[in-house]
Amino acid sequence: MQTIKSESLYNRSCALMPGGVNSPVRACMSVGVTPKFIEKGSGSHIYDADGNEYIDYVCSWGPNILGHAHPQVIEAVSNAIGYGLTFGAPSEKELTIAELINKCVPAMEMVRLVSSGTEAVMSAIRLARGFTGRDKIIKFQGCYHGHSDCLLYKSGSGTLTTGCPSSAGVTMGQIQDTLIAEYNDPQSVEDLFIKNKDQIAAVIVEPVAANMGLVLPQNNFLHFLREITENNGSLLIFDEVITGFRIALGGACEYYGIRPDLVTLGKIVGGGMPVGAYGGRNEIMQKVSPSGNVYQAGTLSGNPVSTAAGIATIKYLIDNETDVYAELDRKGDFLEKSLLEIFGSAVSVNRIGSLLCVFFKQGGVSGFSDVEKSDLDLFAVYYRFMLEHGIYLAPSQYETMFISLAHTDEDLEYTRGVMKKFAQQYLKK
Judged by the rule CB under 6 A, the positions of this chain that interact with ligand HOZ are 23, 25-26, 61, 157-158, 211, 399
d(CA 244, CA 206): 10
Nearer to ligand HOZ, 54 or 343 (CB): 54
**How many CA atoms are closer than 13 Å to the CA of 82, on its beta-carbon side?**
5
Question: Which residues, other chains included, contact 37 with Cβ-Cβ below 8 Å and sequence gap of 6+?
Answer: 5, 6, 9, 10, 48, 49
Nearer to ligand HOZ, 158 or 280 (CB): 158
Q: How far is the CB of 337 from ligand HOZ (least distance, A)?
A: 25
Determine how β-strand 200-205 pairs with β-strand 235-239: parallel
Closest CA to 332 of 255, 397, 246: 246
Q: How far is the CB of 145 from ligand HOZ (least distance, A)?
A: 10
Residue showing the smallest CB distance to ligand HOZ in the complex: 23
Q: How far is the CB of 143 from ligand HOZ (least distance, A)?
A: 11
Q: How far is the CB of 356 from ligand HOZ (least distance, A)?
A: 15
Q: What is the 3-state secondary structure (H, E, C) of the chain?
A: CCCHHHHHHHHHHHHHCHHHCCCHHHHCHHHCCCCCCEEEEEECEEEECCCCEEEECCHHHCCCCCCECCHHHHHHHHHHHCCCCCCCCCCHHHHHHHHHHHHHCCCCCEEEEECCHHHHHHHHHHHHHHHHCCCEEEEECCCCCCCCHHHCCCCCCHHHHCCCCCCCCCCHHHHCCEEEECCCCHHHHHHHHHHCCCCEEEEEECCCECCCCCECCCCCHHHHHHHHHHHCCCEEEEECCCCCCCCCCCHHHHHHCCCCCEEEECHHHHECECCEEEEECHHHHCCECCCCCECCCCCCCCCHHHHHHHHHHHHHHHHCHHHHHHHHHHHHHHHHHHHHHHHHHHCEEEEECCEEEEECCCCCCCCHHHHCCCCHHHHHHHHHHHHHCCEECCCCCCCCEECCCCCCHHHHHHHHHHHHHHHHHHCCC
Nearer to ligand HOZ, 158 or 207 (CB): 158
Nearer to ligand HOZ, 26 or 70 (CB): 26
Nearer to ligand HOZ, 132 or 354 (CB): 354
Q: How far is the CB of 342 from ligand HOZ (least distance, A)?
A: 26
Q: How far is the CB of 24 from ligand HOZ (least distance, A)?
A: 7
Q: How far is the CB of 173 from ligand HOZ (least distance, A)?
A: 25
The residues annotated with a catalytic role in the active site are 144, 239, 267
Nearer to ligand HOZ, 125 or 423 (CB): 125
Nearer to ligand HOZ, 211 or 264 (CB): 211
Closest CA to 328 of 364, 355, 310, 305: 355
Q: How far is the CB of 394 from ligand HOZ (least distance, A)?
A: 7
Nearer to ligand HOZ, 158 or 272 (CB): 158
d(CA 85, CA 304): 7
